[in-house]
């Protein structure tokens, strides 16, 4: 069984990677992975070794999870991590929309600047436990914590408090950008609650072919909703998202 005390700490206090003081926040639904009890236990132990802080350094966190080849995202013959790579491309374009970015540029940023404790990005998740997919759930086998009996009870218990806590963090740190990814109805409801506004046709901008974003500026923070990175592989979409964000954050005079 998983360490109950450590698991409860994770439920209460884990948010993701990077630093809250960063200008650019990227918000997903949950961390990938968690394919086995042993892997989850290792993630919990590494997080504990790093101080059980709300955010951890991406490199330190993933290099600590031994036996799962995470080093390939940071060292040697670096491979792009599918979700990170699209978001990184968008961030690079925001900072320099006139540049063309090659795969090596993405890899360099991923290995050195993505979700690091000294970076200008914050990579957070609405829900704090890793899961290999939205349809798999094994925590009922690994712990007797009541809210983890099912994915439904887990989400029901944490959704409201986590959204409220994230809203408070946004109000406190005032990032320039909060980019939230995922377009299914459940995600859109959550993102609308985080932003405090209902996204609709008036807040939609076409970006590439039939793909679009939702966006709104509220109290000097730009909230953007994109598709899930693994749902849109075209680099043109993510580059278009970056260019649109650049215009919204830095409007031409």
Tell me: pLDDT of 64 over 90: no
Answer for the pair 123, 114: CB distance below 8 angstroms, yes or no: yes
Mean pLDDT of 224-244: 96
pLDDT digit string, tens, across residues 65-120: 766 677 889 988 999 999 999 999 999 999 999 999 999 999 999 999 999 999 99
Tokens describing residue 96: 């320099």
Residue keyed to tokens 């704090």: 128
Residue 207: phi and psi, rounded to 5, are: -115, -50
More confident of the two residues 212 and 35: 212
pTM of the predicted model over 0.75: yes
Contacts of 218 (CB under 8 A, 6+ apart): 195, 196, 197
- Residue-level pLDDT at 66: 63
What is the Cα 70 distance to its own chain's centre? 17
Domain boundaries along the sequence of the chain? 4-249
Mean pLDDT of 49-76: 88
- Residue-level pLDDT at 94: 97
Provide, rounded to the nearest whole percent, the portion of the chain with pLDDT above 90: 89
- Residue-level pLDDT at 135: 87
Answer for the pair 44, 73: CB distance below 8 angstroms, yes or no: no
Average pLDDT for the chain: 95
- Residue-level pLDDT at 20: 98
CATH class of this structure's domain 4-249: alpha beta
């Amino acid at each position: 069984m998983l360490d109950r005390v450590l698991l409860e700490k994770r439920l209460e206090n884990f948010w993701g990677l990077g630093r809250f003081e960063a200008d650019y926040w990227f918000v997903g639904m949950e961390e990938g992975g968690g394919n086995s009890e042993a892997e989850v236990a290792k993630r919990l132990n590494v997080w504990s070794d790093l101080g059980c802080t709300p955010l951890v350094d991406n490199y330190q966190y993933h290099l600590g999870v031994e036996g799962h080849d995470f080093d390939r995202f940071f060292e040697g013959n670096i491979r792009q991590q599918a979700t990170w790579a699209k978001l990184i491309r968008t961030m690079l374009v925001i900072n320099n929309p006139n540049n063309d970015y090659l795969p090596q540029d993405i890899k360099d940023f991923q290995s050195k600047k993505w979700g690091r404790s000294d970076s200008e990005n914050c990579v957070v998740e609405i829900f704090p436990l890793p899961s290999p997919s939205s349809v798999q759930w094994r925590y009922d086998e690994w712990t007797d914590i009541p809210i983890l009996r099912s994915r439904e009870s887990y989400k029901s218990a944490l959704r409201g408090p986590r959204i409220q806590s994230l809203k408070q963090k946004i109000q406190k740190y005032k990032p320039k950008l909060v980019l939230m990814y995922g377009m299914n109805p459940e995600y859109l409801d959550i993102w609308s609650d985080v932003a405090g506004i209902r996204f609709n046709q008036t807040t939609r901008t076409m970006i590439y072919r039939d793909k679009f974003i939702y966006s709104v500026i509220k109290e000097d923070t730009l909230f953007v909703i994109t598709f899930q990175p693994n749902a849109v592989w075209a680099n043109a979409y993510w580059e278009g998202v970056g260019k649109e964000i650049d215009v919204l954050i830095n409007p031409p005079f």
